[in-house]
Amino acid sequence: MNLLIELVAFAVAIGVLVVVHEYGHYSVARLCGVKVLRFSIGFGKPLVQWVSKKTGTEWTIAALPLGGYVKMLDEREEGATISAEELPHAFNQQSVAKRFAIVAAGPVANFLLAIVLFAVVFASGVTEPAAIVAAPAANTPAARAGFDGGETVVSIRDQNGSETESVRSWSDLRWKLLGATFDHRRVVLGAKDGRGTFDFALDLQGFSDRDVDDDFMTRLGFEPGGGTLTVAGVEPGSAAQNAGLAAGDTVRAVDGKPVGSATAFIAYVKAHAGKSITLQIEHAAQGTQAGTRRDLSIVPVPTRDDATGQQIGRIGAALATQVPSVDVRYGPLESVRLGAHRTWDIAVYSLRMFGRMITGEASLKNLSGPVTIADYAGKSARLGPSAFLSFLALVSISLGVLNLLPIPVLDGGHLLYYLVEAVTGKAVSDRWQLVLQRAGLVCIVALSAIALFNDLARLIHF
């Protein structure tokens, strides 16, 4: 069932994004007076075809819905015979500005779609984890900033005294810290607890670009806090069962320290292989023991970690974390503004990350392919409409950014040709276009191979 959801969600996502991208090309081409011969959704054998009586465009839905294209009237097409009457409507007869606009319209359409989708999510409201910080791991930037755990982050600003931005949720905090981390800035987080509101200076200047990935918040020392850590299950014959731990129990403290998060608790257990630790447990609400607390001594069993080859501690318990949540909702105009801001941030971050991957400053493992996209499509679809729309917006931005890269077979490569033509007054020769197109094809194949390898590595934990 999960596989079916992933395939359907992936097909819907790709279908919507491709249609929007190609419709951007189509609509601007029509505005510029270019005749569009065919608008195809998908490749391969046509399943459905019809011709518009008004425009003469052939609309096609093909068998393989993993792409699409817009075919315009063009003298350069092999075997093309164009009458003198239709010649002014050929793509190659248009000015550089019009050709540039038509080609750029595809990526722009993807960015506009992302703004709309984000605006819908912000306006409709979404329930997100509150920006409560768990006790950070030692020697992390959060720990050095002075966080003890339990503080709620409410604002962020640059240390040089720039405008203060509010922080409304954990997701909001993550996005703002992502930009600050990528820029290696020093920021000040405003956070409150039971004693009042305090400033925490966070120094991100020494943070490596290679560490800016999905786990960068953990590396900074930030984990969602303020929640409860519950035992979801216990393995038969495990150290947890032998110590008296049961499903439904709540872990309140470990060795006298409050439990901040599942990640911190697991790390603590791993670091204490063969050493006794004391858990303060609140029993599940059943029988005469309901709600009572008691201490359990447990010795994590030394186990070889397949990833590192080192000995780590394991108690044989599955954990579940429930964190406080907040409802985040914005007005219509504010939603559009935030949607545009979020789209811009992600696009810039994507371009900068790609640039740093080329220069070796960031890992190529950040590239993802269709398998990962399908996986996230399914996961986001199961989480609900808001999660799926946010995922769709993210992939739409990625598609727009990818197509703007100056690689000859992509839209960005054609835009580069037109810029050269605008500056020199002469079009790039067919010979050079052929050479560059072959080089661009090699680049695309190489990028696709790396992305597919990363997909498979994530799938089999290689």
Question: How many Cα atoms within 13 Å fall on the side-chain side of residue 120?
Answer: 14
d(CA 114, CA 131): 25
- List, in order, residues 6 or more apart from 64 with CB less than 8 Å away: 42, 43, 44
- List, in order, residues 6 or more apart from 92 with CB less than 8 Å away: 74, 75, 76
Torsion of CA 113, 118, 122, 124, to 10 degrees: 50
Selecting among 6, 22, 223, 282, the annotated active-site residue is 22
Contact at 8 Å (CB) between 392 and 13? Answer: yes
d(CA 221, CA 134): 9
Question: Which pairing describes strands 293-298 and 277-282: parallel, antiparallel, or unpaired?
Answer: antiparallel
Would you call 294 exposed, middle or buried from its count of C-beta atoms within 10 A (0-12, 13-18, 19+)?
Answer: exposed
Contact at 8 Å (CB) between 213 and 170? Answer: no
d(CA 272, CA 255): 11
CA Rg, the chain, in Å?
A: 27
d(CA 39, CA 34): 13
DSSP 428: P
Torsion angles phi and psi, residue 118, rounded to 5: -65, -40
Phi-psi region of 223 (alpha: psi -120 to 50; beta: other; left: phi over 0): beta
75 noted as active-site residue? no
Q: Which amino acid is at 263?
A: T
Q: What is the DSSP string of 265-288?
A: HHHHHHTTTTS-EEEEEE--S-GG
Rounded (5°) CA angle 167-169-175: 70
Phi-psi region of 291 (alpha: psi -120 to 50; beta: other; left: phi over 0): left
**Which positions are catalytic?**
22
